[in-house]
Amino acid sequence: MKQHRFFILLVLSALMAICSPAYAFASGIPSSSGNSVIQIDGNFDDWKDVPYSYEYNWNNPYILYNQWNPATQKNETVTYTDENGKPYNTTIRHKMSLYRDDQYVYLHIIMAKNYYHSIIGDDYEFWCDGKRVMFQVVMPGGRTITSSSFGPGIHPVEVRHGDSGIAWSIAKGSKAILKRNPGGVNDELEMKIPFSELKRQRPSIDPDDIRVLEFFTPNLMYRHIACAGTDTAPYIGIAVCAAFAVAGYLLYRKKGKQLV
């Protein structure tokens, strides 16, 4: 009986200690900080430690068989991997990172070289616990960033509200920088939007209680990407608590058998 009570106390203590809210870390980057490690300045170097994925309109393969090589005059297998050995690279897929701190959501995109010759800024959807908000990324004044009317270089661009009662108004406090490369090859974009603007577009969003934050745009990808830096405490806590409970139960049974 005493062992049974001890086991219950052990599990309850684990639940209280481990399942309390805590911020997750992504590549050593804290999810909440007064000064964000991401600066929207056209430098792009501060994205190197943020988790990324390769996205496309469809699930295209990174290994292509029987591809004709003019240099060798024969069919060969071509494999597309990045500098870390990860499947895909920016030749055939867009490289994307989504990050957040306690005030902003941040997005970074490097466009794929193949098939695309400029970035697309239409219909950028952010999903907060299943609630969608949409933004458009445009040149100052409203011109599309896909336009060929501006040349290579670093260009400040605007983030505007989409598909809502405040559509086309500038997202207050947002900032975005576009790097246009020669020919629009591997164009690069970084941007941030305050959570207050997500709430302004959709008042039911609570910036202080966003559990799952995702990004999607139908022009560039076929699936959502999740956010680095999101508070994942409930998922981590529940998993660890479950592990403690199982371990405690097995220990209890083992000791119980030894005492019989």
- Are residue 173 and residue 251 in the same domain, yes or no? no
Burial 142-168 (b: 16+ CB within 10 A, else e): eeebbeeeeeeeebebbbbbbeeeeee
pLDDT at 1: 53
Q: Compute how many other C-beta atoms are within 10 angstroms of the C-beta atom of residue 105.
A: 26
Whole-number Cα distances in Å, 78 to 65, 87, 90: 6, 12, 15
- Are residue 97 and residue 182 in the same domain, yes or no? yes
- Are residue 37 and residue 15 in the same domain, yes or no? no
In this structure, are residues 168 and 159 in contact, taking their beta carbons and an 8 Å threshold?
A: no
- Residue 48 or residue 27, greater confidence: 48
- Are residue 259 and residue 175 in the same domain, yes or no? no
Q: Which pLDDT tens digit goes with each residue over 156-182?
A: 999 999 999 999 999 999 999 999 999
Residue 260 CA to residue 257 CA, distance in Å, equals 5
Residue 116 CA to residue 91 CA, distance in Å, equals 10
In this prediction the pTM is 0.76
- Say whether pLDDT at 12 is over 90: no
Q: Which pLDDT tens digit goes with each residue over 51-68?
A: 999 999 999 999 999 999
Q: Which pLDDT tens digit goes with each residue over 237-248?
A: 333 444 444 445
Lowest mean pLDDT, pick from 33-47, 73-87, 228-242: 228-242
> How many structural domains does the chain have?
2
- Are residue 176 and residue 197 in the same domain, yes or no? yes
Does 210 reside within a domain? yes
- Are residue 193 and residue 260 in the same domain, yes or no? no
Range of the domain at 12: 1-22+238-260
Which CATH number covers residue 175? 2.60.40
In this structure, are residues 190 and 177 in contact, taking their beta carbons and an 8 Å threshold?
A: yes
In this structure, are residues 60 and 220 in contact, taking their beta carbons and an 8 Å threshold?
A: no
- Are residue 31 and residue 17 in the same domain, yes or no? no
With tokens 């399942």, the residue in question is 19
- Are residue 255 and residue 178 in the same domain, yes or no? no
- Are residue 42 and residue 163 in the same domain, yes or no? yes
